[in-house]
């Protein structure tokens, strides 16, 4: 794996000085108050072991002394201040600015996630430190006009960028390995798509609506293998151009109507089935009723829908929904994860039936692990597209952050199968 983004910084705490347990360790005299507060939090670690190096080279160790293990090299005291003020957003910003580094970002994320209850302030920060971020998140909620800008911010970075590290199927959602670690990412992505389409109970000649058609992977499979006509909508101009060309190249253009359109504006009459793969996270809580109303309106009586979405643990949802995090600020503006309970409640309120659900969060951890390795391996090519150190650090943090959340079970991914009553 290419890790040259990090190679200009120390890769591990100073090997010449044996790290001392934090209980016996006093920070340097010039350490600011925030560093001492961070130290007090780190002394609470109970699972795993963290080795830490301060800017002056002194080192310490905290945790159980056993695995999982990680290390962090602090290069600038401001990282402590930012993290205590703004939680995971500030912690990420310290990494983006180069104020701290680590030889294994994914390992560090895993260690922090499993200790999240012990280091609560480093996860959530202080209310005043996140006030601007909460306002910014609210201002980017997914109204019709803002939704297009939010999608453009992430998905229109350029098809060439995503082609560097996604598999050839161009699926940007969790793959499904079905217990077979030997499966290639492309095979696992294809298995995920086929499962979702099978859940829709499609028959040749029927009409399928795809909300969030991406680069056309599901539309191609539905048209070619299931023999249905696909209407797909997206708000990404880059994805739409790629998807249209893809289906035309396969001789499937006559079986697909792919459009630049908001799901709220679809007015085509009823469809036999609806499929949506990891688009629901971008809807926004205030628009959830409109989304489910669109599902009900577009489905024929008796029709089925398969909605694949990331979920957050039920017990984490209330605090999450009243806050904001790194992903919402830097990766998916306007987005919000449902909890399973919140999703099911919206299904019930819309008058739809939940007829099946399949969770495979461990597969998302593996998907993200493979994406992260591919992304780092392609660093020279990413730079050649005009992206800089800051961009590379944001994206590496994003992929490692999500990988750790799925591995720990804080987040999951679920295919929900719904039915409109006959």
Catalytic residue annotation:
402
Q: Where are the alpha helices (DSSP H) in 16-104?
A: 33-42, 78-96
Query: Token pair 């908001």 is at which residue?
Result: 262
Do residues 217 and 199 touch, judged by C-beta distance below 8 A?
Answer: no
Do residues 199 and 276 touch, judged by C-beta distance below 8 A?
Answer: no
Cis peptide before 68 (omega within 30 of 0): yes
User: From the CB of residue 361, how many other CB atoms can be counted at a distance below 10 Å?
Assistant: 19
């Amino acid at each position: 794996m290419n890790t040259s983004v990090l190679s200009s910084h120390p890769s591990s705490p100073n090997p010449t000085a044996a790290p001392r347990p934090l209980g016996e360790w006093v920070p340097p005299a010039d350490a600011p108050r925030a560093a001492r507060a961070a130290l007090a939090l780190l002394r609470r670690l109970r699972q795993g072991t963290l080795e830490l190096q301060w800017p002056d080279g002194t080192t310490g160790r905290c945790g159980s002394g056993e695995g999982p293990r990680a290390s962090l090299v602090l290069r600038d005291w401001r990282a402590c201040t930012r993290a205590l003020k703004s939680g995971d957003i500030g912690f990420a910003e310290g990494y983006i600015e180069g104020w701290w580094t680590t030889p294994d970002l994914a390992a560090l994320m895993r260690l922090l996630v499993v200790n999240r209850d012990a280091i609560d302030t480093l996860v959530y920060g202080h209310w005043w430190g996140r006030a601007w971020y909460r306002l910014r998140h609210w201002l980017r909620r997914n109204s019709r006009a803002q939704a297009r800008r939010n999608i453009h911010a992430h998905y229109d970075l350029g098809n060439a960028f995503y082609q560097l590290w996604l598999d050839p199927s161009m699926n940007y959602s969790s793959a499904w390995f079905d217990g077979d670690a030997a499966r290639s990412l492309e095979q696992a992505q294809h298995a995920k798509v086929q499962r979702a389409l099978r859940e829709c109970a499609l028959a040749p000649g029927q009409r399928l609506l795809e909300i969030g058609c991406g680069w056309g992977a599901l539309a191609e499979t539905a048209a070619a293998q299931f023999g249905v006509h696909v209407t797909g909508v997206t708000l990404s101009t880059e994805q739409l151009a790629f998807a249209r060309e893809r289906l035309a190249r396969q001789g499937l253009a006559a079986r697909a109507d792919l459009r630049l359109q908001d799901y709220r504006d679809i007015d085509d009459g009823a469809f036999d089935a609806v499929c949506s793969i990891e688009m629901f996270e971008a809807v926004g809580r205030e628009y959830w009723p409109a989304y489910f109303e669109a599902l009900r309106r577009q489905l024929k009586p008796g029709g089925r829908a398969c909605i694949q979405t990331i979920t957050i643990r039920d017990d984490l949802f209330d605090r999450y929904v009243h806050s904001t995090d790194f992903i919402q600020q830097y990766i998916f503006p306007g987005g919000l994860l449902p909890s399973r309970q919140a999703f099911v409640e919206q299904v019930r309120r819309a008058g739809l039936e939940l007829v099946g659900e399949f969770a495979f969060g461990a597969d998302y951890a593996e998907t993200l692990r493979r994406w992260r390795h591919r992304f780092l391996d392609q660093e020279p090519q990413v730079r050649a597209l005009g992206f800089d150190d800051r961009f590379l650090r944001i994206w590496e943090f994003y992929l490692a952050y999500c990988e750790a959340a799925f591995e720990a079970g804080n987040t999951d991914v679920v295919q929900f199968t719904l039915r409109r009553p006959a």
